[in-house]
Amino acid sequence: MSVVTIEGVTKTFDGGTTALEGIELAIEEREFVSLIGPSGCGKSTLLRIIGDLIRPTAGTVRVNGKPAAQARADRDYGIVFQDAVLYDWRTIARNISLPLELARWNRRRRGERVQEMLRLVELSGFESHYPWQLSGGMQQRVSIARALSFDPALLLMDEPFGALDEMTRERLNLELLRIWEASGSTIVFVTHSITEAVFLSTRVVVMSPRPGRISDVIEIDLPQPRTAATREEPRFFELVTRVREALHLGSDHDRDLTAPRTAEAPS
Protein backbone atom coordinates (compact mmCIF):
# COMPACT_ATOMS: atom_id res chain seq x y z
CA MET A 1 0.00 0.00 0.00
CA SER A 2 1.26 3.45 -0.86
CA VAL A 3 1.94 5.79 2.04
CA VAL A 4 0.83 8.79 -0.03
CA THR A 5 -1.53 8.70 -3.00
CA ILE A 6 -2.27 11.93 -4.83
CA GLU A 7 -4.91 11.83 -7.55
CA GLY A 8 -5.87 14.71 -9.83
CA VAL A 9 -4.96 17.37 -7.31
CA THR A 10 -5.52 20.96 -8.42
CA LYS A 11 -5.21 24.02 -6.22
CA THR A 12 -6.47 27.44 -7.19
CA PHE A 13 -5.95 30.19 -4.63
CA ASP A 14 -8.59 32.82 -3.90
CA GLY A 15 -6.90 35.36 -6.14
CA GLY A 16 -7.36 33.01 -9.10
CA THR A 17 -3.75 31.82 -9.28
CA THR A 18 -3.50 28.15 -10.16
CA ALA A 19 -0.74 26.83 -7.90
CA LEU A 20 -1.10 23.17 -8.87
CA GLU A 21 -2.77 21.40 -11.75
CA GLY A 22 -3.46 17.73 -12.32
CA ILE A 23 -0.96 16.31 -9.82
CA GLU A 24 -0.72 12.50 -9.80
CA LEU A 25 1.81 10.87 -7.49
CA ALA A 26 2.11 7.74 -5.38
CA ILE A 27 4.80 7.41 -2.72
CA GLU A 28 5.63 3.94 -1.43
CA GLU A 29 6.72 2.91 2.02
CA ARG A 30 10.39 3.64 2.89
CA GLU A 31 10.79 5.95 -0.10
CA PHE A 32 12.68 9.24 0.09
CA VAL A 33 10.99 11.52 -2.44
CA SER A 34 12.21 15.02 -3.18
CA LEU A 35 10.02 17.68 -4.75
CA ILE A 36 12.19 20.11 -6.69
CA GLY A 37 11.39 23.04 -8.90
CA PRO A 38 11.79 26.81 -9.26
CA SER A 39 9.97 29.23 -6.97
CA GLY A 40 6.26 29.28 -7.63
CA CYS A 41 6.02 25.70 -8.86
CA GLY A 42 3.81 24.84 -5.91
CA LYS A 43 6.08 22.29 -4.24
CA SER A 44 5.51 23.68 -0.73
CA THR A 45 1.79 23.92 -1.46
CA LEU A 46 1.78 20.26 -2.50
CA LEU A 47 3.56 19.30 0.72
CA ARG A 48 0.95 21.19 2.75
CA ILE A 49 -1.86 19.52 0.83
CA ILE A 50 -0.40 16.12 1.75
CA GLY A 51 -0.37 17.30 5.38
CA ASP A 52 -3.94 18.63 5.14
CA LEU A 53 -2.71 22.09 6.12
CA ILE A 54 -4.14 23.36 2.79
CA ARG A 55 -7.23 21.87 1.13
CA PRO A 56 -6.99 21.12 -2.62
CA THR A 57 -9.54 22.67 -4.96
CA ALA A 58 -10.02 19.34 -6.71
CA GLY A 59 -8.65 15.82 -6.43
CA THR A 60 -7.96 13.50 -3.51
CA VAL A 61 -5.03 12.85 -1.23
CA ARG A 62 -4.76 9.69 0.84
CA VAL A 63 -2.14 9.13 3.52
CA ASN A 64 -1.77 5.63 4.93
CA GLY A 65 -4.89 4.73 2.97
CA LYS A 66 -6.96 7.38 4.77
CA PRO A 67 -8.18 10.78 3.58
CA ALA A 68 -5.54 13.41 4.39
CA ALA A 69 -7.75 15.08 7.03
CA GLN A 70 -8.19 11.80 8.87
CA ALA A 71 -4.45 11.12 8.67
CA ARG A 72 -3.74 14.51 10.22
CA ALA A 73 -6.25 13.87 12.99
CA ASP A 74 -4.53 10.51 13.62
CA ARG A 75 -1.11 12.24 13.70
CA ASP A 76 0.20 10.05 10.88
CA TYR A 77 2.91 12.48 9.84
CA GLY A 78 5.52 14.77 11.34
CA ILE A 79 6.51 18.04 9.69
CA VAL A 80 9.74 20.07 9.57
CA PHE A 81 9.80 23.62 8.22
CA GLN A 82 12.62 25.78 6.89
CA ASP A 83 12.73 27.56 10.25
CA ALA A 84 12.99 25.18 13.16
CA VAL A 85 9.81 26.74 14.71
CA LEU A 86 10.90 25.87 18.24
CA TYR A 87 9.08 27.56 21.09
CA ASP A 88 11.45 29.90 22.89
CA TRP A 89 9.79 29.42 26.26
CA ARG A 90 10.30 25.66 26.21
CA THR A 91 13.54 23.80 26.81
CA ILE A 92 14.85 21.46 24.10
CA ALA A 93 13.36 18.47 25.94
CA ARG A 94 9.97 20.13 26.23
CA ASN A 95 10.04 21.22 22.59
CA ILE A 96 10.58 17.63 21.53
CA SER A 97 7.85 16.39 23.84
CA LEU A 98 5.24 18.90 22.62
CA PRO A 99 3.51 16.47 20.22
CA LEU A 100 3.68 13.78 22.93
CA GLU A 101 1.92 16.10 25.40
CA LEU A 102 -0.78 16.73 22.80
CA ALA A 103 -1.10 12.98 22.30
CA ARG A 104 -1.52 12.60 26.09
CA TRP A 105 1.53 10.47 26.74
CA ASN A 106 2.37 10.23 30.41
CA ARG A 107 5.40 11.99 31.85
CA ARG A 108 7.58 8.92 32.19
CA ARG A 109 7.01 7.73 28.64
CA ARG A 110 7.59 11.26 27.35
CA GLY A 111 10.89 11.48 29.24
CA GLU A 112 12.11 8.19 27.85
CA ARG A 113 11.17 9.05 24.30
CA VAL A 114 12.81 12.48 24.52
CA GLN A 115 16.09 10.84 25.57
CA GLU A 116 15.78 8.37 22.73
CA MET A 117 15.18 11.15 20.20
CA LEU A 118 18.07 13.23 21.58
CA ARG A 119 20.33 10.24 21.02
CA LEU A 120 18.97 9.82 17.49
CA VAL A 121 19.82 13.40 16.52
CA GLU A 122 23.01 13.36 18.64
CA LEU A 123 22.00 16.13 21.00
CA SER A 124 22.10 14.24 24.30
CA GLY A 125 22.99 16.61 27.12
CA PHE A 126 21.15 19.57 25.58
CA GLU A 127 17.74 18.72 27.05
CA SER A 128 17.62 21.66 29.44
CA HIS A 129 19.02 24.22 27.01
CA TYR A 130 16.74 26.76 25.41
CA PRO A 131 16.42 27.00 21.60
CA TRP A 132 18.22 30.34 21.35
CA GLN A 133 21.30 28.78 22.95
CA LEU A 134 21.69 26.38 20.00
CA SER A 135 23.09 26.96 16.50
CA GLY A 136 20.78 26.92 13.48
CA GLY A 137 21.84 23.39 12.54
CA MET A 138 21.26 22.08 16.06
CA GLN A 139 17.85 23.76 16.17
CA GLN A 140 16.90 22.03 12.95
CA ARG A 141 17.96 18.68 14.43
CA VAL A 142 15.69 19.38 17.42
CA SER A 143 12.89 20.10 14.98
CA ILE A 144 13.51 16.73 13.26
CA ALA A 145 13.55 14.97 16.63
CA ARG A 146 10.22 16.61 17.49
CA ALA A 147 8.71 15.55 14.14
CA LEU A 148 9.80 11.94 14.67
CA SER A 149 9.09 11.75 18.41
CA PHE A 150 5.67 10.15 18.05
CA ASP A 151 6.91 7.70 15.44
CA PRO A 152 4.90 8.87 12.43
CA ALA A 153 5.02 6.75 9.28
CA LEU A 154 5.56 9.85 7.16
CA LEU A 155 7.94 12.79 7.54
CA LEU A 156 7.18 15.97 5.57
CA MET A 157 10.11 18.35 5.19
CA ASP A 158 9.77 21.84 3.68
CA GLU A 159 13.26 23.03 2.69
CA PRO A 160 14.55 22.07 6.13
CA PHE A 161 18.17 22.95 5.40
CA GLY A 162 17.50 25.91 3.10
CA ALA A 163 18.61 28.50 5.64
CA LEU A 164 21.81 26.72 6.67
CA ASP A 165 25.32 27.15 5.30
CA GLU A 166 26.64 24.64 2.77
CA MET A 167 28.86 22.70 5.22
CA THR A 168 26.18 22.35 7.86
CA ARG A 169 23.74 21.35 5.14
CA GLU A 170 25.99 18.55 3.84
CA ARG A 171 26.56 17.23 7.35
CA LEU A 172 22.84 17.30 8.12
CA ASN A 173 22.12 15.55 4.82
CA LEU A 174 24.23 12.60 5.96
CA GLU A 175 22.61 12.71 9.34
CA LEU A 176 19.15 12.77 7.83
CA LEU A 177 19.94 9.64 5.80
CA ARG A 178 21.09 7.89 8.97
CA ILE A 179 17.89 8.98 10.76
CA TRP A 180 15.80 7.81 7.79
CA GLU A 181 17.51 4.40 8.00
CA ALA A 182 17.08 4.18 11.76
CA SER A 183 13.47 5.37 11.93
CA GLY A 184 12.15 3.43 8.95
CA SER A 185 9.94 6.34 7.92
CA THR A 186 8.92 7.58 4.49
CA ILE A 187 10.12 11.09 3.67
CA VAL A 188 8.74 13.76 1.34
CA PHE A 189 11.35 16.47 1.02
CA VAL A 190 10.96 19.89 -0.63
CA THR A 191 14.18 21.50 -1.82
CA HIS A 192 15.71 24.06 -4.16
CA SER A 193 19.00 22.23 -4.35
CA ILE A 194 19.63 19.75 -7.16
CA THR A 195 22.62 18.08 -5.48
CA GLU A 196 20.75 17.76 -2.21
CA ALA A 197 17.76 16.17 -3.96
CA VAL A 198 19.94 13.67 -5.86
CA PHE A 199 22.08 12.80 -2.86
CA LEU A 200 19.17 12.12 -0.52
CA SER A 201 16.39 10.72 -2.63
CA THR A 202 15.26 7.44 -4.03
CA ARG A 203 13.12 9.46 -6.44
CA VAL A 204 13.19 13.10 -7.52
CA VAL A 205 9.93 14.71 -8.63
CA VAL A 206 10.66 17.67 -10.90
CA MET A 207 8.01 20.37 -10.98
CA SER A 208 7.44 23.30 -13.33
CA PRO A 209 5.66 26.57 -12.54
CA ARG A 210 2.56 28.45 -13.75
CA PRO A 211 0.64 26.29 -13.21
CA GLY A 212 2.51 23.91 -10.94
CA ARG A 213 2.81 20.55 -12.64
CA ILE A 214 4.96 17.46 -12.33
CA SER A 215 7.19 17.63 -15.40
CA ASP A 216 9.41 14.62 -14.70
CA VAL A 217 10.05 11.87 -12.17
CA ILE A 218 13.64 10.61 -11.95
CA GLU A 219 14.65 7.38 -10.20
CA ILE A 220 17.87 7.84 -8.24
CA ASP A 221 19.61 4.47 -8.48
CA LEU A 222 22.67 5.39 -6.41
CA PRO A 223 23.53 2.52 -4.06
CA GLN A 224 22.47 2.61 -0.39
CA PRO A 225 23.73 3.49 2.13
CA ARG A 226 25.04 6.74 0.74
CA THR A 227 28.16 8.33 2.16
CA ALA A 228 30.19 11.46 1.59
CA ALA A 229 31.94 9.53 -1.21
CA THR A 230 28.64 9.16 -3.07
CA ARG A 231 28.90 12.83 -4.00
CA GLU A 232 32.05 12.07 -6.01
CA GLU A 233 30.76 9.16 -8.05
CA PRO A 234 30.28 9.62 -11.82
CA ARG A 235 26.72 8.31 -11.54
CA PHE A 236 25.96 11.09 -9.03
CA PHE A 237 27.02 13.72 -11.56
CA GLU A 238 25.04 12.03 -14.34
CA LEU A 239 21.92 12.17 -12.19
CA VAL A 240 22.56 15.77 -11.19
CA THR A 241 22.82 16.65 -14.89
CA ARG A 242 19.68 14.69 -15.63
CA VAL A 243 17.70 16.59 -12.96
CA ARG A 244 19.15 19.90 -14.07
CA GLU A 245 18.08 19.28 -17.67
CA ALA A 246 14.63 18.24 -16.55
CA LEU A 247 14.34 21.50 -14.60
CA HIS A 248 15.37 23.59 -17.61
CA LEU A 249 12.92 21.79 -19.87
CA GLY A 250 10.26 22.34 -17.24
CA SER A 251 10.87 26.04 -16.96
CA ASP A 252 10.89 26.35 -20.77
CA HIS A 253 7.60 24.56 -20.90
CA ASP A 254 5.52 27.49 -22.04
CA ARG A 255 8.20 29.08 -24.21
CA ASP A 256 9.30 28.39 -27.74
CA LEU A 257 11.37 25.24 -27.39
CA THR A 258 13.15 25.84 -30.69
CA ALA A 259 14.62 29.11 -29.41
CA PRO A 260 18.17 28.84 -27.99
CA ARG A 261 17.94 27.85 -24.37
CA THR A 262 19.15 30.44 -21.88
CA ALA A 263 21.69 29.50 -19.22
CA GLU A 264 19.30 30.63 -16.52
CA ALA A 265 19.83 28.45 -13.46
CA PRO A 266 16.79 27.30 -11.56
CA SER A 267 17.72 28.48 -8.11
Partner 1 sequence: MSIAPVAVQPIPRGTLAGRVGKRALDWVPALVVLVLVLVVWQESIAVFHIKKFLAPQPTAIASTFWTNRHELISAGWFTFQEALGGFAIGCGLALVVALVLARWRGVGRALMPYMIAANAIPIIAFAPIMNAWFDPFSKFSKMAIAAVLCFFPVLVNTLRGLTSVRPQSIELMQSYAAGEIETFRRVRIPTALPFIFTSLKIATVLAMIGAIVGEYFGGAFTALGVLIDSRSTTFQFKEAWAGIAVACAYGIAFYLAVALLERLTLRGMPSTGD
Binding site for partner 1 (CB under 8 A): 48, 51, 53, 72-75, 77-79, 81, 83-89, 91, 98-99, 101-103, 130-132, 136, 139, 163-164
For residues 137 and 94, give the distance between their C-alpha atoms in angstroms, rounded to a whole number: 18
Helices 166-183 and 107-120 meet at what angle, rounded to 10?
Answer: 130
Q: What are phi and psi of 54, to 5 degrees?
A: -130, 140
Is the separation of the CB atoms in 190 and 44 below 8 Å? yes
Q: ω into residue 225 within 30 of 0, thus cis?
A: yes
Q: Is 215 in contact with 253 (CB distance < 8 Å)?
A: yes
- Closest to partner 1 by CB, 38 vs 99, is 99
- Shortest spacing between CB 205 and partner 1, in angstroms: 21
Gap between the Cα atoms of 76 and 68, Å rounded: 9
Nearer to partner 1, 89 or 267 (CB): 89
Is residue 97 within 8 A of residue 114, CB to CB? The reply is yes
Which of 178, 172, 167 shows the shortest CA–CA distance to 120?
178
Tell me the closest approach of the beta carbon of residue 65 to partner 1, in angstroms: 18
Nearer to partner 1, 95 or 251 (CB): 95
- In the complex with partner 1, the residue whose CB is nearer, 85 or 265, is 85
Nearest distance from C-beta of residue 166 to partner 1, angstroms: 14
- Cα 205–chain centre separation: 12
Nearer to partner 1, 94 or 242 (CB): 94
The conformation of residue 93, written as its DSSP 8-state character, comes to H
Nearer to partner 1, 98 or 174 (CB): 98
Closest to partner 1 by CB, 53 vs 265, is 53
Cα 35 to Cα 250: distance, rounded to the nearest angstrom: 13
From CA 166, how far away is CA 227, in angstroms rounded? 16
